[in-house]
Amino acid sequence: MYDRLKLMAPSIEILFYKGMAMLLSFYSIKLLANILNSDGMGLWLTIISVTSWLSLSDAGIANSLRNSLSQALAKGELIRAKELISSSYVYFFILLSAFLLLSFTIIYFINLNFILNVSLDFELKGVVTFSICAVIVNVYFMLNSAVFYAMNKPSFDAKRTFLFQFFFVALCFTLSESYNSNDVHVLFYVSIAYFISAFFSNLIGYLYLQGSNPELKPSISDSKLPVFKGLLNVGFKFLLLQLSAVLLYSTDAFLIAHLFNISSVTNFNLTNKIFFIFIFIQGAVFSPMWSRYTYLYTQKQTGKIITQLKVSLGISFCLLVLMLLILNYISPILNFWLGKSDIMVDGLAIGIFTLTAVRLWCSNFSTLLNGVGDLQAQLIASISAIFINIPLSIIFVKWFGFGVEGVAYGSAIALLIFGVIGPFRAYKFISNLNEGTSSLSK
């Protein structure tokens, strides 16, 4: 019992900080709704959704560093650990700098008004530029989180997220006191606030990491290009998984903007934000489980792997029941949250409920397979999902006459590929591991 409570302690801490971050996030949405008009709000949510694609620029390095560093620290190889960290920070900085320069060049030459389906003529390029910079800052400092995960301190990332939301809310509150939706420059100011929040929250995290672990402080002299190349090789599969996830979720906003209008993106994102509470709770609990699976796999403790999987399935079932309980109250919740009385999203709520339920199911098996480095099934399912997501969404909307919820149904069916393959792959992995460790204590 004591061991289980000890294992749950990081999850409780993560839930606290991420819970506070989510409350601040909800409040920031309310503040933004007061200072941005409907089109401005939809445009901001679309830009944030689309620029999240740039999270792919990490090339799977963070997850690769997490796994490799975990092994090095477990074996007491501090020299190897410092080489991994130094190589990641130094060469990843060079890689992202080149990527950022390329992004700036593309922004300068493309017609953003056409791509985002808007006719606004203000600092749109500036808004996108600051948003991209914020994402790149977050991507680079994901290395901080990878190091803390490898050190079995998973709550760091939750604290960083809380700090980011705290800064962003403070800045949005300041904007709400000074500007309103009639000011054409306010969206530009919001993007600056977004970047400032990302920069300082990550900088504080980096300084804390280096101050608390000086023996692991990165240095140019300890960086080695072959080590970084090795991390890239391992990270390639994680990159493909990230690519599929970003394309699958981010293209929803893009599709809605073109199949309907930019304002429809707002209702979709706001409704999705309510259901994301359950994804966030599951993620907070599952976050330490990834590294725990890695440790149990290294120790060949099959029985404990099975036990942890059962626990994760039980948690997911409880979350599904809670989702069902609030399903009929989504519209009142949104109206109360935003201080309005005319929001009706009942059909959309059912669609996003379905999508969220599928995500909860899939996460049980992706967490296990990620932790043990068995990514083949996810790669096959994810690549397949990329190709069928957009056509399915268009079919639901154009052929079957669904509204915005049709896009959610398309994404849910695309995800179900892994929802079917994942459990079989997990069962096969556990069976193979069990055969090779039948004499071990379980």
Q: Measuring CA to CA, which residue among 278, 421, 305, 422 is closest to residue 360?
A: 278
How do residues 236-267 score in pLDDT, each as one tens digit?
A: 777 777 777 777 776 777 788 778 877 777 77
pLDDT, mean over the chain: 81
Helices (H), ranges, 327-404: 330-338, 346-371, 376-394
Residue 47 confidence (pLDDT): 80
- Whether 132 contacts 51, CB under 8 Å: yes
pLDDT in the model for residue 270: 81
User: Residue 208's pLDDT band (boundaries 50, 70, 90)?
Assistant: confident
Contact 132, 99 (CB under 8 A): no
Measured distance CA(198)–CA(141) in Å, rounded: 10
CA distance 240 to 106: 23
Count other C-beta atoms under 10 Å from residue 26's C-beta. Answer: 18
Handedness of CA 258, 261, 266, 269 (dihedral sign): negative
Distances (CA, A) of 142 to 92, 316, 379: 11, 26, 22
Global confidence as pTM: 0.70
- Maximum average pLDDT range among 270-279, 331-340, 357-366, 388-397: 357-366
Distance of CA 148 to the CA centre of its chain: 17
**What is the per-residue pLDDT across 384-434, written as a single tens digit (0 to 9) for each?**
888 888 888 889 888 988 888 888 899 999 999 999 999 999 999 988 887
- Quick one: pLDDT band at residue 373, thresholds 50, 70, 90? confident
3-state secondary structure 223-249: CCHHHHHHHHHHHHHHHHHHHHHHHHH
Q: How far, rounded to the nearest angstrom, does the alpha carbon of residue 17 sit from its chain's CA centroid? A: 16
Alpha-carbon span 198 to 190, nearest angstrom: 12
233 near 49, Cβ under 8 Å?
Answer: no
Q: For residues 310 and 316, what is the distance between their CA atoms, to the nearest angstrom?
A: 10
User: For residues 182 and 180, what is the distance between their CA atoms, to the nearest angstrom?
Assistant: 5
% pLDDT > 90, the chain: 17
Across 122-126, 157-161, 413-417, which has the greatest mean pLDDT? 413-417
Confidence (pLDDT) at 287 = 79
pLDDT band at 436, cuts 50/70/90? low
pLDDT at 376 over 70: yes
